[in-house]
């Protein structure tokens, strides 16, 4: 499923941004998985209700965000599964790594609605880029639901260039996603 992001690419007023040390972005640990699961559930429902039928959202969450599946993802992605935490509460996460084509990919990035537009997504984005650079990858792709305009603006604001669109499905629902690429070398 395409990634979703916080905000609309605008910088919030200084009073709404987080102090520098408030949010910790780090590789996920096994004890973070319940919090990560909760972020996924809440953000998927908030973001995709009205775009994807509720039954398909719930089936997707059950299949891809069970604690067992998250544990397998943590094993597979290692330091590419990132969490944003405030006082050990997970408020956002990103997953990234090498995709089937051998390219760096941001697989997902989600931030709880009440923590959006406060710099959390930006910090996750930067840490994902750092991780993919450490793997020696020259670029990162990210796929996003084409109808998710706030996420698309977030990526575009960070220099992502549109690659094109493609069809995919969530459950029984045919959808379109937009792909973006970010050059990692020299950034």
SS (H, E, C) the chain: CCCCCCCCCCCCCCCCCCCCCCCEEEECCHHHHHHHHHHHHHHHHHHHECCECHHHHHHHHHHHCCHHHHHHHHHHHHHHEEEEEECCEEEEEEEEEECCCCCEEEEEEEECHHHCCCCHHHHHHHHHHHHHHHCCCCEEEEEEECCCHHHHHHHHHCCCEEEEEEEEEECCEEEEEEEEEEECCCC
Whether residue 48 lies inside any domain: the answer is: yes
Whether residue 17 lies inside any domain: the answer is: no
pLDDT less than 50: residues of the chain: 5-16, 20, 187
Tally of domains in the chain:
1
Whether residue 99 lies inside any domain: the answer is: yes
Are the C-beta atoms of 125 and 135 separated by less than 8 Å?
no
Query: Any idea of the CA torsion for 124, 115, 31, 1, to the nearest 10 degrees?
Result: -60
Cα 182 from Cα 118, distance rounded (Å): 22
Are the C-beta atoms of 27 and 172 separated by less than 8 Å?
no
Residue with structure tokens 């459950």?
171
Per-residue pLDDT tens digits for 106-152 = 999 999 999 999 999 999 999 999 999 999 999 999 999 999 999 99
pTM: 0.87
Whether residue 13 lies inside any domain: the answer is: no
Whether residue 19 lies inside any domain: the answer is: no
The parent domain of residue 122 ranges over 24-183
Whether residue 166 lies inside any domain: the answer is: yes
What is the domain-level CATH number for residue 113?
3.40.630.30
Predicted confidence at residue 1, as pLDDT, reads 53
Predicted confidence at residue 88, as pLDDT, reads 86
Predicted confidence at residue 15, as pLDDT, reads 38
Q: Which two tokens stand for residue 145?
A: 């639901």
Predicted confidence at residue 2, as pLDDT, reads 54
Predicted confidence at residue 175, as pLDDT, reads 96
Whether residue 7 lies inside any domain: the answer is: no
Listed residue (140, 166, 150, 160) closest to 43, CA to CA: 150
Residue with structure tokens 């995919």?
168
């Amino acid at each position: 499923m395409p990634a979703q992001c916080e905000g609309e690419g605008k910088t919030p007023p200084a009073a709404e941004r987080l102090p520098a040390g408030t949010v910790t972005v780090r590789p996920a640990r096994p004890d973070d998985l319940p919090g990560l699961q909760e972020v996924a559930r809440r953000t998927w429902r908030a973001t995709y209700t009205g775009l994807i039928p509720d039954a398909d959202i719930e089936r997707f969450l059950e299949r891809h965000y069970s604690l067992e599946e998250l544990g397998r993802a943590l094993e597979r992605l290692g330091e590419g599964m990132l969490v944003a935490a405030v006082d050990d509460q997970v408020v956002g996460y990103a997953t990234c790594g090498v995709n089937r084509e051998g390219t760096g990919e941001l697989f997902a990035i989600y931030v709880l609605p009440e923590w959006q537009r406060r710099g959390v997504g930006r910090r996750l984005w930067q840490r994902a880029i750092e991780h993919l650079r450490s793997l020696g990858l020259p670029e990162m792709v990210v796929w996003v639901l084409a109808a998710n305009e706030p996420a698309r603006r977030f990526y575009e604001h960070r220099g992502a260039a549109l690659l094109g669109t493609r069809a995919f499905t969530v459950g029984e629902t045919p959808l379109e996603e937009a792909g973006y690429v970010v050059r990692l070398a020299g950034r």
